[in-house]
Chain A
């Protein structure tokens, strides 16, 4: 290290020692206050998240109900076809049964949707009063 570098090093070291004497210390309970605020915010955020809409997914419900309907209809068609031949598929009797099954499933789907809507309304009302 040449003399110029050595002088600069000494100057820097002097500055460092001087300036470090003026470093402030946070208040004694500062870290406690900060962590309290963070924990409180985290708790409030978690509560807001869980009180959101319950896990109702119209797509999975619709898929499962209509999926079941198609499965039942397919089973009916297959049974009728293999037992009585394809002529029976176009008879009014058979078509009536298919229609009945379809209407039954659609009614069930509508009831499920209405019940889900009522449940959500109830939950929202419950949150407002908390």
Chain B
């Protein structure tokens, strides 16, 4: 059964079928909201509100796009409204200072997975929110450039350019040895 079939089930009155969408997409939705809001509690509140909005407006979902694209767009809009944050900086603005040169104690030491994850997370938090979000959408769930454009409201070429810059910025600011 695909997502469209499940949407039809919910629309025909089977509310419990909506639980599938909650369980499948909650982690990524919270991650997206966290990238924008910057704090976990707010992120979960935003996602909870987004699920409610999605349920109320499920009749407006068009099966031409994926459910995840449609739903993440709701999450994105809700998170941006909630945090009133400026998502997209202009060219030349990064909001970052030069990357601190903090190499690992031993270049040969094997990183614990958790330490690596923390460093990646810290670097993402230092990036402009829009860049961190683009990297999250592109690499975590392999969303295409077209889907990212639908979620964020940016045009295709804008997404490509920003993604390229975000990748570069991320690599430059990741502590030495992690990449």
Contacts and interface: CB of A to CB of B under 8 A. Distances in A.
Interface of A: 12, 14-16, 18-27, 30-31, 33-35, 37-39, 41-42
Interface string B108-148: 00000100110011001000000000011001101000000
A30 B136 CA distance: 21
B19 interface: yes
Given A22-B124, A25-B27, A38-B18, A30 B116 contact: no
B52 A38 contact: yes
Contacts of B179: 14, 18
A23 B15 contact: no
- If over half of B's interface residues share one DSSP class (helix, strand or loop), that class is named, otherwise mixed; here it is helix
A34 B22 contact: yes
Nearest to B23: A31
A18 B116 contact: yes
B19 to A, nearest CB: 5
Interface residues of B, number: 38
A41 to B, nearest CB: 7
Contacts of B117: 21-22
Contact of B27 (A18, A24, A37): A24
Given A15-B139, A16-B139, A38-B51, A23 B28 contact: yes
B44 A19 contact: no
Contacts of A34: 22, 26, 48, 51-52
Nearest to A25: B27
Contacts of A27: 44
Nearest to A39: B15
A24 B30 contact: yes
Given A31-B19, A38-B52, A19 B178 contact: no
Contacts of B29: 26
A38 B55 contact: yes
Interface string B21-49: 01100111111001000001001100110
